[in-house]
Chains A and B, each alone.
Chain A
Amino acid sequence: MKAAVVVFPGSNCDRDVQVALTRSMGAASDTKAPSNGAPIMVWHKDADFDKVDLIVLPGGFSYGDYLRCGAMAAHSPAMREVVRRAKAGVPVLGICNGFQMLTETGLLPGALLRNARLKFVCRDVHIRVETSQTLFTSRYQAGAALRVPIAHHDGNYTAGADQLERMEARGQIAFRYCEADGAVTEAANPNGATRNVAGVYNEAKTVLGMMPHPERLADPALGGIDGRPLFDGLVEALS
């Protein structure tokens, strides 16, 4: 599998994603000298990057979250190319700021608003895997509760009522915030997101946006590995 991670001014989770993917790809773990198996890092101004099997939009504060989170990044040359390839079926994973970019480009429906209680929330949460029948979740069981960190100020997912119904019917809800036992409750919702939505797919389930950070819990040294199967599953599906 060949993968690309797009780096914007202000991205800060790009190397974490590179490390997580590299591990899953079984390549050298020394990210200063990535082997052929490691993902390529694409600078936002570069619209001309290699053909890859997976594109990742990492977390961070691209363009300082100016105007709206992900709004400026959505118009960078690399993103225009990402949109073009996504429409042609290339899988794209957007994490946190990456999810915000995906909604700003319209590749995913809905929008991410300021957290309902106005605080930047930085802690581990649990999310329930809604379906295991996708490129991204094939290594998980449907209904499994994963522990993953979140760190965001604007993760409050919203979409119109009709839009949500269509998304539910088509299985486009990827993850929901839940208790450790998988129960989807208001108490488990860290940011007020409608229906506890933590991640969504496009209709074809080739594009996934999620607010939590699977790359931050993909190594025992980080305190957990619940995020690892997401990357393992992608490598398996796309190699």
Chain B
Amino acid sequence: MKARIHVTLKPGILDPQGKAIQHALGALGFGAVDKVRQGKVIDLELAETDPEAARANLTEMCEKLLANTVIENYAIELDAGPERSTAP
């Protein structure tokens, strides 16, 4: 089963990388950008086929390693992965 984890900074945590991206967009002429925050996407392929079990495992993976829950939030998407991208 494919899974996609989104790891994002908690609101209020300083994101200087997001700010740098915002400035770079401004320099490219995209001025109407009020805020940018950068996160990360982790794609996994699990042997597990049961969604409940998969979700439980993934939650534990996020709590223990994939996210630092002091400063990051995570979201788990099952049956999601690179093939689902809308980009051409």
The segment from A91-99, A111-119, A208-216 found at the interface with B is: A111-119
Within 8 A of B (CB), among A106-147: 110-111, 113-118
Given contacts A113-B71, A118-B20, is CB(A67)–CB(B66) below 8 Å? yes
Contact present for A68 and B68 (CB under 8 Å): yes
- Residue of B13, B17, B68 near A71 (CB, 8 A) is B68
Report the Cα distance A162→B66, complex, angstroms: 25
Instruction: Point out the residues of chain B lying under 8 angstroms from A11, CB to CB.
Output: none
- Whether A116 pairs with B14 at a CB distance below 8 angstroms is yes
Report whether B20 and A158 are in contact in the complex, using a CB–CB cutoff of 8 Å: no
The answer to whether A14 has its CB under 8 Å from any CB of chain B is no
Q: Which of B13, B16, B64 contacts A118 (CB 8 A)?
A: B16
B16 partner, pick from A68, A71, A114, A159, beta carbons under 8 A: A114
A192 vs B16: C-alpha distance in the bound complex, in angstroms? 10
Pick from B14, B17, B68: contact of A192, CB under 8 Å = B14
Which of A72, A103, A110, A113 makes the CB contact (< 8 A) with B14? A113
In the bound complex, how far is the Cα of B6 from the Cα of A17, in angstroms?
A: 38
Within 1-55 of B, Cβ neighbours of A (below 8 Å) are at 13-14, 16-17, 20
Structural contact, B16 and A111, CB atoms closer than 8 A: no
Q: How far is it, in angstroms, between the C-alpha of A115 and the C-alpha of B19 when the chains are bound?
A: 12
Shortest CB–CB separation between residue B39 and chain A, in angstroms?
A: 13
Most chain B CB within a 10 A radius of its CB, from A67, A115, A116, A156: A67
Given contact pairs A67-B65, A75-B65, A118-B20, A111 touches B14 in the complex (Cβ within 8 A):
no
* Residues in chain B near residue A75, CB distance under 8 A: 64-65
B17 touches A114 (CB 8 A): yes
Shortest beta-carbon distance from B16 to chain A in Å: 5
Enumerate the 6 nearest inter-chain pairs by beta-carbon distance, A residue then B residue, closest first: A111-B70, A111-B71, A118-B16, A116-B16, A68-B68, A118-B20
With A67-B66, A159-B70, A192-B16 already in contact, 14 other A-B pairs whose C-beta atoms are closer than 8 Å? A67-B65, A68-B68, A72-B65, A75-B64, A103-B70, A104-B68, A111-B70, A113-B14, A115-B16, A116-B16, A117-B16, A118-B20, A158-B13, A158-B14
